[in-house]
Every structure is written in structure tokens, then in C-alpha cells.
Amino acid sequence: MDLDFRSLVLAAATPDLADEPAARERADAVEFRMDLAEGDPLAALDDYDGELPVVATNRTEREGGEAAHDTERLDTLRQAAEFDHVAAVDIELVTVTNGEDGDLLTHARANDAQAIVSKHDFEHTPRERLSELLGRACEYGDVGKLAVTAQDPGDVLALLKATHHFCSGDTPVATMAMGEIGRHSRVVAPLYGSRIAYAPVDPERATAPGQYDLATLADLIERLE
């Protein structure tokens, strides 16, 4: 399955691929949070018969997930890329720049899966480094993703400015400001060129601070289009 990140992809974030039927009406893809899944996530991918393409994410603890920072996590993500219905894998920028990913990016692309290279900051918005971080993510990934935590409205404005600057480049970008102050960025960032919006199908199973549920986010984005 393919995903075209040149236009907005609404991804339903979930640790359970059984949520896919409930997401079909509004989502363009399912982000499978492998690190949050109960049971074997590779077995879940093997059993998957949904209609939506999958973005496979196996997030480390240091960037908001529950996966241990070890080679097993990356091996699992590498195997996930081999499934036909996995259209993209998400790998952290620090893992790539530290050379810890091995051949993951090459392996994913060889299996027709795109690479989302991401950076998450759960403490603040590094305004002076937004362009640097987004630029480096774009350098390595087929999509460059940056999620920060807004402490005030100025942080959101800075992120939107960086998004608008990079959206005209060759590599699509995905940006969002986490937390309540930045919550509205999940709705308006696509207007500035962000190409992925994330939302849980079940509002009780949010995978990041400040997420709208899928139905609400889809409705709000549609109203602004």
C-alpha cells in the first residue's frame, strides 16, 4: 500500500490494529504504535487485513514511547517494513544521526516503505533550533517530522513559520505542538504545509499530549479547508 505525503495524510494512531475499521471513514492511514501494543506487534501486522495503509512506529522511551532503546526495537521495525501494507516506518532523528539505525532506512525503502524521520521534544519548543532540526529530519527522511511542546502562543507561531518555510522543499514535513497550548496547531499546521495529522480513534487512548480524537480532528480540518 502506498501513501502520498504531498497532500495531507490523516493518521489514526492506535496500539491495536483492530481499531482500523472504525478509522476508515475519516483516516488515510493507521499509525500502529508497536511499542504500546499488547502481545506481539509483528503477529498483529501479519494478521492485519484492513484497508488503510500502516505507518509503523516503535517509539523509544526517551521520545515518549515505551520501547527499550536496543537493537531488538530496530529489528522489529525493520521486519515491519517488509509487510506489504506497511507504507512507512517512523524512526527518530537521534537514532539516525547517531548511526544506531543500521540499514533500517535503506531496508525500508527497498521494501517500498517510506521513512518518516522524527524529533520529539516533550519539554519545550527550541525556537532557535527549529529550522536545524526540521532540516536534518528532511535530510534523512522521506518525511521530516518535528513535534515540540508549546509553553506559550509564540512557540506555536515559531513552529508554523518553520513549517511554512520547509513545506516548499523537496521533502514533505509534518509538525505539531504538543500540550494544551499547542493543541490548535494540529488543526492549523496543515494550512501551513504540514503533511501528517495524528489523532486516536478512541479519545481515551491518545498517544501524545493534546491530541484531538479522530472524528473531531477530521471535522475541524474539513471546516478550515
d(CA 222, CA 17): 25
CB 93 within 8 A of CB 133: yes
Verify whether residue 120 is a known catalytic residue.
yes
Q: How far apart are CA 3 and CA 111, in angstroms?
A: 14
Cell 493518521 locates to: 11
Q: Is 145 a catalytic residue?
A: yes
Question: CB of 89 within 8 A of CB of 115?
Answer: yes
Residues in the chain, how many? Answer: 225
- Residue 130 C-alpha from the chain's centroid: 17
Amino acid at 156: V
What the block records as the C-alpha cell of 168 is 516548499
User: How are beta strands 9-14 and 29-33 bridged, if at all?
Assistant: parallel
Annotated catalytic residue, options 85, 107, 119, 120 = 120
Catalytic residue among 69, 107, 145, 164: 145
Active site residues: 120, 145
